[in-house]
């Protein structure tokens, strides 16, 4: 949204996290906190839009919320975690409940399921707005030909299903299909079985490289155990790349026929082969083109504009009452 803010709004990003090391993360946190204090005290911002996940992220962002509150800056708390319900089920739940209910704050989640799962902790006026995305790859007329090219885009963290994806490839190979699998994110340590060169560990990829991968791949696999709302799946939908996903991404993909459980990789391999039929492949891409409308930047930014304007009106009304 920084590059596409709602109409009549200007947005800037303030990075609060770094992946390099704990020292780098603490440095980024300290710098962002100082910068936020500077801009709010100088009345340079009208509203803060804060992304939060679980664990340490919550406690860091709670401090930023406090800085905004002290300076009467309305705040959107945008929950992105795929495990926020687990986090709230512990001792942090009471903190979340109290913090999100304070005046001048609005809570937004990524999907309807999070309104339901977090009902015990988030305010009743919380809203659902999906992450936006725009096409980055030209896939017009793409069809699987020859080797089936599978893709998995993730950070490579625990619970994302890298091992399961390789088992799907194994199942395809056992069914005498010609297939390869490319996976982004953290490269596994130690000996990595590349299945004779059929598995490629890409590490971190640039936006340009990601666009190339989406353009040339036949299917995205997303066998995650948990997701807030998978950006990889959203990007695949928007770019017309058929994706087969776990139940954690069911609401994101919006097509029941593309959702499979994590019990049997053979079922995933079977579905890949079924959808590789030229007619079925076109049907799936057509279905995804309808789902893509939910993630349109224009649609999402308009909804954010309504949230922002509503918060500002509430703040003005509160100030007028004094």
Give me the mean pLDDT over the 188-197 stretch.
72
Q: Give the distance from CA 168 to its chain's centroid.
A: 23
Query: Domains in the chain, start-ordered, CATH in brackets?
Result: 22-131+296-320 (3.40.50.2000), 148-295 (3.40.50.2000)
Lowest mean pLDDT among 88-97, 194-203, 260-269: 194-203
Q: How confident is the model at residue 28 (pLDDT cuts 50, 70, 90)?
A: confident
Phi, psi of 308 (to 5 degrees): -60, -50
Q: Which residues 6+ apart lie within 8 Å of 17 measured at CB? A: 25, 28, 29, 57
pLDDT digits (tens, 9 = 90+) for 61-118: 999 999 999 999 999 999 999 999 999 999 999 999 999 999 999 999 999 999 999 9
In the chain, % of residues over pLDDT 90: 79
**Assessment of whether the complete model's pTM goes beyond 0.85:** yes
Does 321 have pLDDT greater than 60? no
pLDDT at residue 320 is higher than 70: no
Per the model's pLDDT, the better-predicted residue between 218 and 160 turns out to be 218
- CA nearest 253: which of 281, 283, 225, 294? 294
How far apart are alpha carbons 135 and 240 in whole angstroms?
9
Q: pLDDT higher for 57 or 125? A: 125
What rounded mean pLDDT belongs to the chain? 92
Partners of 150 in beta bridges: 181, 219
């Amino acid at each position: 949204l920084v590059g596409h803010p709602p109409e009549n709004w200007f947005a800037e990003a303030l990075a609060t996290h770094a992946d390099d090391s704990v020292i780098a993360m603490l440095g980024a946190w300290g710098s962002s906190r100082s910068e936020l204090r500077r801009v709010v005290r100088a009345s340079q911002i009208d509203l803060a839009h804060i992304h939060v996940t679980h664990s340490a992220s919550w406690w860091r962002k709670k401090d930023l919320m406090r800085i905004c509150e002290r300076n009467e800056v309305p705040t959107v708390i945008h929950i992105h975690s795929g495990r926020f319900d687990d986090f709230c089920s512990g001792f942090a739940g009471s903190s979340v409940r109290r913090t999100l209910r304070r005046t001048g704050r609005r809570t937004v989640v990524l999907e309807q399921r999070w309104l339901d799962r977090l009902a015990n902790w988030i305010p009743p006026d919380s809203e659902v707005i999906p992450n936006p995305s725009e096409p980055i790859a030209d896939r017009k007329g793409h069809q699987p030909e020859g080797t089936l090219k599978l893709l998995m885009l993730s950070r490579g963290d625990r619970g994302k299903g890298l091992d399961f994806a390789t088992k799907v490839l194994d199942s395809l190979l056992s069914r005498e299909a010609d297939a390869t699998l490319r996976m982004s994110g953290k490269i596994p340590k130690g000996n990595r079985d590349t299945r004779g060169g059929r598995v490629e560990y890409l590490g971190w990829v640039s936006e340009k490289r990601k666009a190339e991968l989406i353009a040339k791949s036949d299917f995205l696999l997303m066998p995650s155990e948990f997701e807030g709302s998978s950006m990889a799946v959203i990007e695949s939908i928007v770019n017309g790349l058929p994706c087969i996903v776990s139940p954690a991404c069911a609401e994101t993909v919006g097509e029941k026929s593309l959702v499979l459980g994590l019990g049997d990789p053979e079922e995933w391999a079977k579905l890949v082969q079924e959808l590789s039929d030229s007619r079925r492949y076109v049907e799936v891409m057509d279905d995804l083109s309808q789902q893509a409308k939910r993630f349109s930047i224009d649609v999402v930014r308009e909804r954010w504009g309504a949230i922002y304007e509503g918060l500002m009106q509430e703040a003005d009304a509160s100030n007028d009452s004094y």
